[in-house]
A and B are shown apart, each in its own frame.
Chain A
Amino acid sequence: MALDRRQFMKQAAVSSALAAAGAVFPGISFGDWNKLTNNSGIVSWQKSPCRFCGTGCGILVGVSGGRAVAVKGDPNCSVNKGLCCMKGYHSVQSLYAKDRLTKAKVRKNGQMVEVPIQEALDLVASKLKQTIESHGKDSVAIYGSGQWTIPDGYVASKLFKGCLGTNNVEANARLCMASAVTGFMTTFGIDEPMGCYEDMDHANVFITWGNNMAEMHPVLFSRMIANRKRRSNVRIIDFATRFTRTSQAADMSILFKPQTDLAVANAICYEIIRNDWVNWNFVNEHVSFHKGKTNIGYGTEDHFAFQDKGENISFAEYKQFLEDYTPEKVEKISGVPAKDIKYLAALYGDPSQKVTSFWCMGMNQHTRGTWINNLVYNIHLLVGKISTPGNSPFSLTGQPSACGTVREVGTLTHKLPHGVVMNEHDREMAARIWDVPVTNIDPKPTYHTVEMFRALDRGDIRFIWIQVTNPMVTMPNLRRYRNGAQKDDRFVVVSDVYPTPTTDVADVILPAAMWIEQEGLFGNSERRTQHFAQIVDPPGDAMSDTWQIIEVARRLGFDKQFPWSEENYIEKIWEEYRLFHAGPKHEMAPYKVLRERSGVQWPFVNGKETRWRFNPKHDPACTNGKDFDFYGKKDNRAWIWARPYEPAAESPDDEYNFWLNTGRVIEHWHTGSMTRRIPVLHNAVPSAYVELNPEDAAELGVVNGEMVRIISRRGQIIIPAQINGRGVPPRGMVFVPFFDESYLVNEVTLDAFCPISKQPDYKKCAVRLEKV
């Protein structure tokens, strides 16, 4: 039954009202909506994860006449229990904008011309081969995404690392989650959160560390607010560098100066020890103490290299280290009153309170991102508030499959689907499963993302294939990397669904199937793998990113490694990939189970999901016979790290006297290439802006909507001012969302990164302002 335009608009009217209701009444559910099925023209509802953030809400997509026409929350998905945010409700409209890429294009004599997709794939394969022949295997690269499906990332890694023998595989999750990974690895020896979203139904205290959840993880935020409404003893403390919608809804908002979260976290630990709130049974049994290198640099120069070196220290030495972080001393650095630091410490220290800490980009996009992740774990470990319902240090992800595809499949230069390229056993396992000689897999990592784009600029990389992401909007210090990509003798292939500033620099554009136009799997923030079937057909010649890679691999002669048919390739790839994670620490659910359920958490052992890792009541991998087993580290302990406060790579000075902070808004996903094509979302926030503190705006003589020039040492943009909007920065800071390609704020940002995780800091650089 086809749905006419009027019915389609009616569905949009329903979606908008549901989205509005969700925003005004957190936790609201409309289970009766399925009664509409009978009279709306919708012939089927099929499950999928939403693709517009890392929360991983389950949705049901209503299909009519071969077109996805409506969305409702999936009541069977424990993540959102039937609720969505406005992006989720309107998500399917992103499939149908007028300028969808449906044909392959190739640059001929400087012009992009349409060609059959098979011809474009021939060209990609021959250029790849030629480049390797002329410049060596490490002159070619693939750059993917936390929006890659798991099979996309898996075949990319198999082709580049296993077959072509280069570790030039990176993904944009390096820009969003790398510090979370190195935080987990250095503290626990194993990646991804020990807890799950159910922690929210048990915790009494929520502390959001630089995390505007109200806009970035709206459904989770609603669940937190609903818990506060339902239970009288729930408090939310927002600890941030600017006042946001999260601060507004919180019971208390505490602002700190950029980068000084490091000092405050240490001061909280100082207070916990000074008041003897330490959980000694837990610490004596399950924790060991360590320190690493200091003054570790910022990576702003090409070929920057850093290797941390951990040393054991005693508790006494750790205590001594914290002497520099009394609340009174830290008040001077951070601007946070000592009494507020003591209050935070008391919340963590009170044995009657269950505390969940949430964070995301504020702590990860940080030149000491690994350190601040370590320091928040330190707090939870000192008081033993971890791995039990409601006690959870919880690192949230930004993208729908940053965990599933990038962290679990390992689409980063040093990683393999199990373990790292540097480890001989891990290489042997990969070679066996991939059916390639072990000598194919290079034991040396090559370039992390920033260095990969520097290598493209220098000419060390000549060929790059970019899928499902938009680096010509998102790379910090953007101008250098755009100029690099446009140099002669660079060959850029871009697989995407709409024209973007990245397709503008492409030599070949491959039209991609989007989200539910293909079968796939994502993995969300709480170790939940989510399968979706192909629900509608892709337009024109559009093809899944996975299948594009398979087509190229076969053209290069790797038929044996990529033998699958179009009918069942996703199932076959999943079952092959699962072999890497066999065993109770990371067992993944079988394909059949994933098809049926609205997401399954790993480790999935003997038909059971694991909700709290390291806790033997929930986690079958615990074998030490104790009340916790931190089995990721050889000493079976979680590691507390002495990590100092060190300043940002660039701080305001006399010439550049403002901090620049960047981020997102609830209406738009990532660089806006999809959500800006959804009329309701586009109309809600049609363009980017710069948030100014009202007093700074008055001093500058700027009123709402007037244009401001933001200038850094790297570039400048002119952008309208927003004063007393949804976010209010403190004096001396401005904030710009990055979703709008008309205002490329990354021309201004700095490509400094955490030396351990190599994740850039998009939250801090120095700028000056001029009224235009």
Chain B
Amino acid sequence: MPIFSYLAIPREGARETLCAQLSGLDHCQVIPADNQDVVVLVTDTPDEACEKRLQKRLKGLGSLQSLSLAFGYDEKKEQGGQ
């Protein structure tokens, strides 16, 4: 049951499409930047199968140029700080 957040960079001119496509996916929350072509994507999937399905669909998005991971949390592998 992982939670991830990413910085998603759209292909040139595809910002709006990317936002629409990401918002259309289950378990996704989208926060577009106002002044840059960057979108914060937060995913919160209920189980491993869903997570795998989502990863596959993200890889298939034509409007997406790159996705970089900013944060990962998995209840199974939870770890604290100091």
Contact = CB atoms under 8 A, between A and B. Distances in A.
Interface stretch (A17-25, A400-408, A509-517, A620-628): A17-25
Give the interface SS of chain A, mostly helix, strand, loop or mixed: helix
A36 to B, nearest CB: 7
Contacts of A29: 33-35
B33 A13 contact: no
Interface residues of B, number: 25
B40 A679 contact: no
A250 B20 CA distance: 38
B18 to A, nearest CB: 14
A24 B68 CA distance: 11
B54 interface: no
Contact of A30 (B40, B70, B71, B82): B40
A24 B70 CA distance: 11
Interface in A539-572: none
B82 A13 contact: no
Contacts of A21: 7, 33, 36, 38, 40, 70
B35 A680 contact: no
Interface residues of A, number: 31
A28 B35 contact: yes
A9 B43 CA distance: 11
A14 B32 CA distance: 12
Contacts of B44: 6, 10
A97 interface: yes
B4 to A, nearest CB: 7
A9 B75 CA distance: 10
Given A13-B42, A14-B31, A31-B34, A678 B70 contact: no
Contacts of B81: 97, 676-680, 682-683
B58 interface: no
A25 B7 CA distance: 11
A677 B29 CA distance: 28
Give the interface SS of chain B, mostly helix, strand, loop or mixed: strand
Contacts of B13: none
A165 interface: no
B56 to A, nearest CB: 21
A10 B31 contact: no
B5 interface: yes
A594 interface: no
B14 interface: no
Contact of A20 (B7, B35, B79, B82): B7
A680 B80 contact: no
Contacts of B35: 27-29
A17 B70 contact: yes
A345 B44 CA distance: 56
A9 B72 CA distance: 9
Given A6-B44, A97-B82, A678-B81, A16 B5 contact: yes
A14 B42 contact: yes
A678 B3 CA distance: 18
A31 B40 CA distance: 12
Contacts of B70: 13, 16-17, 19-21
A219 to B, nearest CB: 15
A16 B82 contact: no
B31 A33 contact: yes
Contacts of A185: none
Nearest to A226: B35
Contacts of A16: 5, 70-71
Contacts of B68: 20
17 contacts: A10-B44, A13-B3, A13-B5, A13-B42, A14-B29, A14-B40, A17-B40, A17-B70, A19-B70, A20-B68, A25-B33, A29-B35, A30-B32, A36-B29, A97-B81, A97-B82, A682-B82
Given A14-B42, A27-B35, 16 more contacts: A10-B3, A10-B29, A12-B71, A13-B3, A17-B70, A21-B38, A27-B36, A28-B36, A29-B33, A30-B32, A32-B31, A676-B82, A677-B81, A679-B79, A679-B81, A682-B82
**Can you list the 5 inter-chain pairs with the closest CB atoms, starting with the nearest?**
A679-B81, A16-B71, A13-B5, A17-B5, A17-B70
